[in-house]
């Protein structure tokens, strides 16, 4: 009896001339791979970690990008299905290759990532990231759906390969919050005009920085890569570019998160900036601090070539004369973060989410200094909570579904880590006012208003267990 083997491919590959975004030699080829379909429910956030096949020819990657497309290959606009971020990792042929900057964790080598900024990977001519058909690649992605109904999409990865010998680059993922699957923090939005957060990194090998990309969130001013050993000079500034105010990105209602920049600048130079083995590099993210910005990031993507062949690299050599900065490729880009205010949203009987600033249900007044909220079955147990100034609210997350508690609007920005399986997160509310809170992963469905009175808790021991 003959067996008919039916393969249901989840990925298909295709070869094209180089796509213009890769700025590659026109004699090369681009390998296009599509995975999917994926389906997003109403206002859903999708997390996926998927295997990606590297191009089936050996060589070096000189250009790479990714987009969401429908079944006909048409690119989906960000205001329908939004690629919030995607990171590609490479374990090498033995799947043992790890990020040297995360020695305590088994983080695989991250070699390309993009996000709402959709910045392609490009490298100066003559440089490439080595690619072997036996390499073990994966991608992890997060996609947000801003509408009711369902949305089907495919992830299209485009890689341009140079089969000729090139100078190899090594990718370094320098995140202000390093080695975390959720490398975020929140900008409080009060006090000084600017909020900065920085981290230093000791580089394990000498090299030359030949390309630098980056990732920032909404509210960002810039991302700075600097060299403390050379009088803290700035090597590269990645600048965010925001969409014009009439971009449909901002017309999404309700706005389920503060949109990221629509582009971020990319820097590249064949000469590069040299650094020594063990030398420190510093990454600084600058954000607007006149309003809260929650769950922000600051990640520098640094591509490093070996020290210059022949002549040794000069310490603190002047800025390379051949540096090139790639900016926004859309009209009327804005460089200052737009002033946006988020609301909460609530899904009505018709399945559509609508903006609201009102709490659900009647107020639960807490007289004592502490209280707890259980986040269970996609719901905050006290959706309308009133506490005294200085009270501590503790959220408990017993479900195996991942949630968080994040400010949408209010006096001070904050956000918990993603939490599940009994995790807890506590916060003292020292500023009176109304805090509109949501779960950032389910922001159309899960919200809570915490009102902080201007007076302190009335009965200091009211919530303590009685003897």
Give the residues lining the site for Cu ion (CB under 5 A): 403, 439, 441-442
Token couple for 458: 């009335």
Q: From the CB of 444, what's the least distance to Cu ion, in Å?
A: 10
In the complex, minimum distance from the CB of residue 441 to Cu ion, in angstroms, rounded to a whole number: 4
- Nearest approach, Cβ of residue 144 and Cu ion (Å): 13
* Residues whose CB falls within 8 Å of the CB of residue 211, separated by 6 or more in sequence, listed in order: 121, 122, 123, 124, 127, 169, 266, 267, 268, 269, 302, 303
Please say which residue, 255 or 323, places its beta carbon nearer to Cu ion: 255
Nearer to Cu ion, 162 or 258 (CB): 258
DSSP states along 31-76? EEEEEEEEEE-TT-EEEEEEEEPPPSS-EEEEEEEEEEE-TT-PBP
State how far the Cα of 50 lies from the Cα of 329, in Å rounded to an integer: 29
Our CB check for Cu ion shows the closer of 174 and 441 to be 441
Using the minimum distance from each CB to Cu ion, give the nearer residue, 289 or 416. 416
CA-to-CA distance for 298 and 434, rounded, in angstroms?
Answer: 28
Please state the closest distance from residue 375 (CB atom) to Cu ion, in A.
7
Residue 439: CB minimum distance to Cu ion, A: 3
Minimum distance between the CB of residue 256 and Cu ion, rounded to whole angstroms? 12
In angstroms, the CA 11 to CA 35 distance is 4
Separation of first and last alpha carbons in the chain: 78
113 - beta bridge partners?
87
Question: Smallest distance from the beta carbon of 353 to Cu ion, in angstroms?
Answer: 14
Of 215 and 403, the one with the shorter C-beta distance to Cu ion is: 403
Quick check: 247 and 103 in contact, CB under 8 A?
no
Q: Which is nearer to Cu ion, 41 or 77 (CB)?
A: 41
Q: SS3 of 21, please? A: helix
Instruction: Give the separation between CA 264 and CA 275, rounded to whole angstroms.
Output: 24
User: Least distance to Cu ion from the beta carbon of 402, Å?
Assistant: 7
Total residue length of the chain: 467
Choice between 144 and 439, CB closer to Cu ion: 439
Min dist CB 415 to Cu ion, Å, is 12
Burial degree of 356 (CB within 10 A; 0-12, 13-18, 19+): middle
Distance between CA atoms of residues 3 and 400, nearest Å: 41
Nearer to Cu ion, 95 or 423 (CB): 423
Q: Which is nearer to Cu ion, 22 or 442 (CB)?
A: 442
Output DSSP code: residue 319.
P
Q: In the bound complex, what is the minimum distance in angstroms from residue 445's beta carbon to Cu ion? A: 8
Least distance CB 357 / Cu ion (angstroms): 20
Cα torsion angle, 13, 48, 414, 338, sign:
positive
Token pair listed for 269? 């130079």
Shortest CB 355 distance to Cu ion, Å: 18
Nearest Cα neighbor of 33 from 66, 71, 74, 81 is 66
Please state the φ and ψ torsions of residue 20, each to the nearest 5 degrees.
-60, -30
Q: If 0-12 CB within 10 Å is exposed, 13-18 middle and 19+ buried, where does residue 336 land?
A: exposed
Could you tell me which residues are beta bridge partners of residue 25? none
For Cu ion, the closer CB: 274 or 439: 439
CB nearer to Cu ion: give 21 or 404.
Answer: 404
Contact 379, 442 (CB under 8 A): no
Residue nearer to Cu ion on the CB measure, 172 or 380: 380
Query: CA 152 to CA 163: how far, in whole Å?
Result: 35
Backbone angles phi, psi at 163, to 5 degrees: -80, -10
């Amino acid at each position: 009896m003959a067996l008919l083997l039916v393969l249901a491919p989840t990925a298909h590959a295709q070869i094209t001339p180089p796509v213009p975004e890769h700025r590659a030699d026109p004699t090369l080829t681009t390998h296009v791979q599509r995975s999917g379909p994926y389906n997003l429910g109403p206002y859903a956030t999708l997390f996926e970690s998927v295997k990606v096949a590297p191009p089936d020819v050996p060589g070096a990657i000189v250009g790479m990008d990714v987009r969401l497309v429908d079944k006909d290959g048409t690119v989906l606009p960000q205001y329908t299905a939004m690629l919030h971020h995607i990171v590609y990792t490479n374990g090498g042929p033995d799947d043992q290759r790890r990020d040297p900057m995360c020695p305590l964790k088994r983080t695989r080598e991250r070699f390309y990532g993009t996000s709402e900024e959709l910045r392609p990977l490009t490298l100066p001519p003559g440089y490439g990231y080595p690619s072997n058909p036996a390499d073990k690649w994966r991608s992890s992605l997060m996609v947000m759906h801003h509408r009711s109904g369902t949305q089907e999409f495919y992830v299209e990865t485009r890689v341009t390969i140079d089969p000729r010998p090139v100078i190899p680059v090594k990718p370094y993922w320098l995140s202000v919050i390093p080695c975390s699957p959720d490398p975020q923090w929140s900008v409080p939005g009060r006090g000084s005009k600017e909020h900065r957060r920085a981290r230093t990194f000791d580089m394990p090998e000498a090299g030359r920085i030949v390309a630098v990309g980056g990732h920032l969130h909404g509210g960002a001013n810039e991302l700075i890569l600097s060299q403390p050993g050379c009088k803290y000079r700035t090597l590269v500034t990645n600048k965010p570019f925001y969409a014009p105010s009439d971009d449909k990105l901002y017309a999404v209602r309700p706005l389920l998160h503060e949109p990221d920049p629509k582009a971020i600048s990319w820097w590249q130079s064949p000469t590069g900036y040299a650094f020594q083995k063990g030398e420190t590099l510093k990454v600084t993210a600058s954000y607007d601090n006149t309003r809260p910005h929650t769950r922000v990031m600051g990640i520098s993507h640094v591509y490093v070539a070996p020290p210059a062949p022949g002549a040794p690299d000069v310490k603190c050599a002047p800025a390379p004369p051949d540096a090139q900065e790639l900016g926004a490729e859309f009209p009327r880009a804005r460089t200052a973060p737009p002033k946006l205010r988020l609301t909460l949203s609530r899904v009505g009987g018709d399945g559509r989410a609508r903006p609201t600033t009102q709490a659900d249900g009647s107020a639960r007044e807490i007289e004592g200094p502490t209280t707890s909220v259980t986040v269970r079955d996609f719901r905050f147990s006290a959706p309308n909570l009133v506490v005294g100034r200085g009270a501590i609210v503790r959220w408990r997350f017993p479900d195996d579904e991942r949630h968080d508690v994040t400010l949408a609007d209010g006096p001070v920005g904050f956000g918990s880590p993603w939490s599940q399986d009994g995790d807890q997160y506590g916060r003292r509310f020292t500023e009176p006012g109304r805090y509109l809170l949501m779960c950032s992963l389910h922001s159309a469905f899960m919200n809570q208003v915490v009102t902080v009175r201007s007076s302190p808790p009335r009965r200091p021991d009211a919530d303590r267990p009685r003897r």
